[in-house]
Structures are given as C-alpha cells and as structure tokens.
C-alpha cells in the first residue's frame, strides 16, 4: 500500500509547513463544466484588479525557495507564475481538475496541484533531492536531474520527480488528463498561511470535485505532527 510521506528534514527547515491532501479514488474528468469556467474567470478578474504578487502568502514562497538555494525569480513558485499569467488572458481549460486547481490557487493564494496515481509505483514523497532522480518537464521529452538539496516531490521507487523545486514545474509522466481516474491532490501552506485556510480551500475543492466531476474521495492534512499517510486502495 503506497504512502504519502513528507521527509522530516522538510519540517526541520520549514516547521510551519502544512499540506492538505485529497485522495481521489474515481472521477469523471472528461466533461467541461460551465460552473468551473465561471469560477475560474471570476478568480482571474479578482487577481487582475489586485496586486497579489506582493501578498505575504506569495512572498512567503519566495523566501522558502531561497532557503533551499533556489532563485524564486528564475524558478518562480507556481502561485507566483499563475498570478502573473492570470491578468493577461483567460487561463486555458485543460480539463476540469486542472481548472479547479487554478481556481483554488487564485482564490486562496496557495499552490495547488495533483498527480495521476496510476502512473506511480512507489510512495509519493516530498523530500530533498540527491541528484540521482530523473525529471521530464510537462510537455517535454528531455530528461533532467534535480540539484542535490532541492525540495522535490517524487516517486521513491522509480525516482521519477513529479514536481521540481517544491512547486516550480510539474512532470509530464504524472500529469492529470481526461482519462485520469485516481489522483492525489496537494494544497500547500507555509509562513502565515494557517491550517484553517488550507482546510477551507481543501474542503471547497472537495465539494466541487464531488458535484462537478462525480468524484469519490477522502481527505486529510499533513504537518509536523503527522508526516505520513497510508493510501487505502
């Protein structure tokens, strides 16, 4: 039975880190939802009318990246990239789940993402890279390796990286598609972001996945007091 594991060294560096977890056991991700489209557009308009790039929750991720020697300007955290893109044009509706990730990220100013569980052979681990892991970025075929000490999210059996630099760039192999049936979703908070914010964002996403995608799911929360979660198959 696979686990979700957050390496204890992450909490040594980032004791206030918390991760909301949604384990989706079955989902219909093949249809487009008018409600999701409207929610995403509303969130995009709110972002366009505000300078959230200077928000404390966003700046906290810049500082977190610097603490593991990553340049957040060269390798921006996902929430920062999304906030830069959103005011310029409508975000593409890749599929309902990805659209919901973007909506929740913009509304709560937190990184949100997920991976197709059926592509993963081991445990899903957030930890520090050794440099022996492999990474192929979304939409690419070129293999790369993380920098030793970099925060990565990876399959600890295959050593394939699902996300580099914590939340900078996603992999191609575990991407969410219309055919995805089982997935793990992460909602991350650091710095001043409270667990209440993460739980509120997680629970809103749970409700939308159930109503708009007919998802069957369970949810949890990981933090310094609980750094592992067994997945019920």
Condensed to tens digits (0 to 9), the pLDDT of residues 140-170 reads 999 999 999 999 999 999 999 999 999 999 9
SS percent in the chain: helix, strand, coil, step 5:
35, 25, 40
Mean of pLDDT values over 76-105: 94
Angle, in degrees to the nearest 10, between helices 56-67 and 78-85: 140
Q: State the pairing for strand pair 183-189/216-222.
A: unpaired
- Residue ranges of the domains in the chain? 3-230
3 state SS of 177? coil
Considering the domain delimited by 3-230, tell me its CATH architecture: 3-Layer(bba) Sandwich (3.50)
Question: Helix (H, G, I), strand (E, B), or coil: what is residue 55?
Answer: coil
Q: Is the pLDDT of residue 214 over 80?
A: yes
What is the mean predicted confidence (pLDDT) over 74-100?
A: 94
Model confidence band, residue 233 (pLDDT cutoffs 50, 70, 90): low
Compute the average pLDDT of residues 56-73: 96
The tens digit of pLDDT for each residue in 95-139 reads 999 999 999 999 999 999 999 999 999 999 999 999 999 999 999
């Amino acid at each position: 039975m696979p686990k979700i594991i957050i390496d204890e060294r992450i909490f040594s560096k980032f004791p206030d880190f918390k991760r909301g977890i949604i384990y989706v056991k079955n989902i219909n991700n093949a249809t487009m939802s008018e409600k999701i489209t409207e929610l995403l557009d509303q969130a995009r308009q709110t972002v366009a009318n505000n300078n959230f790039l200077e928000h404390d929750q966003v700046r906290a991720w810049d500082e977190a990246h610097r603490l593991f020697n990553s340049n957040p300007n060269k390798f921006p955290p996902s929430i920062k990239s999304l906030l830069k893109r959103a005011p310029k044009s409508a975000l593409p509706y890749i599929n309902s789940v990805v659209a919901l990730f973007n909506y929740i990220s913009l509304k709560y100013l937190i990184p949100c993402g997920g991976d197709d569980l059926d592509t993963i052979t081991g445990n899903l681990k957030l930890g520090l890279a050794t440099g022996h892991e492999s990474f192929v970025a979304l939409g690419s075929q070129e293999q790369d390796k993380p920098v030793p000490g970099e925060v990565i999210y990876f399959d600890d059996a295959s050593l394939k990286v699902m996300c580099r630099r914590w939340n900078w760039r996603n992999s191609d192999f575990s991407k969410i598609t219309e055919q995805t049936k089982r997935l793990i979703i992460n909602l991350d908070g650091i710095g001043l972001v409270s667990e209440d914010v993460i739980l509120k964002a997680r629970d809103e996403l749970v409700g939308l996945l159930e109503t708009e995608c007919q998802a069957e799911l369970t949810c949890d929360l990981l933090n310094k007091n609980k750094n592992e979660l067994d997945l019920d198959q």
